[in-house]
Amino acid sequence: MAVEKNNNGLQLLGFWVSPFAQRCHIALAEKGLSYESLEQDLSNKSELLLRANPVHKKIPVLLHGGRPICESLVILQYLDEAFPEASALLPSDPGARAHARFWAGFVDTKVFECGVRLWKRKAGSEPQVQARKEMVEALRTLDAELGDKPFLAGEAFGFVDVAVVPFAAWLVSYGRLGEFDVEEVCPRLVAWAERCGERESVAKSIHPPEKVWEFVGFLKNKLGDK
């Protein structure tokens, strides 16, 4: 994960395994912006985090000259607008921009939400079985959207890829929890994740699937249904 000397007035409050914080690390790296990474203890939230995000009290939060910007997708769009001279994440065409925002939102409302239910609900329970079904459908939908394109954004790595790729490290966990074969469900998405992982911005920002699996076990033991 990138931790660089701050010379843009940028600080990122995050948590090591959070896919939402990882989006911001990747975006900052793609745009070539140096920043200070401030790792947060979510079991004992800092005064800085509580002041910066008093509404949701969650990471990630980007501080730009001390001014807080909250929510990962908002942060990604802010970086494009605040630093237009750096490589753009979103396409210039309004229709393509709307399309990119739609699929980024799809991952948050479908993949992430189903993933929470997969680890939180008791194995084999009706809610967990339903979450498995919805997860498989969501991954197949993403696989179909990718199609034969090299990236979800098209020919070049872009906003949608930044938004989605942190969840690639969670695919192994989703498959194990839901008892399905990820490569069978979304083979093109698996290959896409490998291509994205070759980018320095991604490789430095996300963790190996087995490390994520360990964290999922921690979540399940602490917060899952007994």
pLDDT of residue 73: 98
62: which strand partners? 12, 69
Exposed/middle/buried for residue 6 (C-beta within 10 Å: 0-12, 13-18, 19+): middle
Cα distances (Å, whole numbers) of residue 152 to 54, 120, 157, 223 = 34, 29, 7, 33
Dist. CA 187–CA 185, nearest whole Å: 6
Per DSSP, which regions of the chain are E strands? Answer: 10-14, 36-39, 61-64, 67-70
* Surface-to-core class of residue 150, CB atoms within 10 Å of its CB (0-12 exposed, 13-18 middle, 19+ buried): middle
The candidate with the shortest Cα–Cα distance to 182, out of 218, 135, 149, 144, is 135
Question: What rounded mean pLDDT belongs to the chain?
Answer: 95
Is the pLDDT reported for residue 71 higher than 70? yes
Report pLDDT for 2: 41
pTM listed for this prediction:
0.95
pLDDT bucket at 53, cuts 50 / 70 / 90 = very high
pLDDT for residue 226: 82
Which pLDDT score is estimated for 7? 57
Whether 35 and 14 have beta carbons less than 8 Å apart is answered as no
The secondary structure of 27-83 as a DSSP string is HHHHTT---EEEE--TTS--HHHHHH-TTT--S-EEEETTEEEESHHHHHHHHHHH-
Give the max Cα distance, the chain: 51
Domains and CATH numbers, the chain: 10-82 (3.40.30.10), 94-223 (1.20.1050.10)
Residue 144 has pLDDT above 60, yes or no: yes
3-state secondary structure at position 83: coil
Q: Is the pLDDT of residue 5 over 90?
A: no
End-to-end CA distance of the chain: 34
State pLDDT tens for residues 173-202.
999 999 999 999 999 999 999 999 999 999
In 121-202, which ranges are E strands? none
The pLDDT of residue 6: 45
How many whole angstroms separate alpha carbon 7 and alpha carbon 33? 9
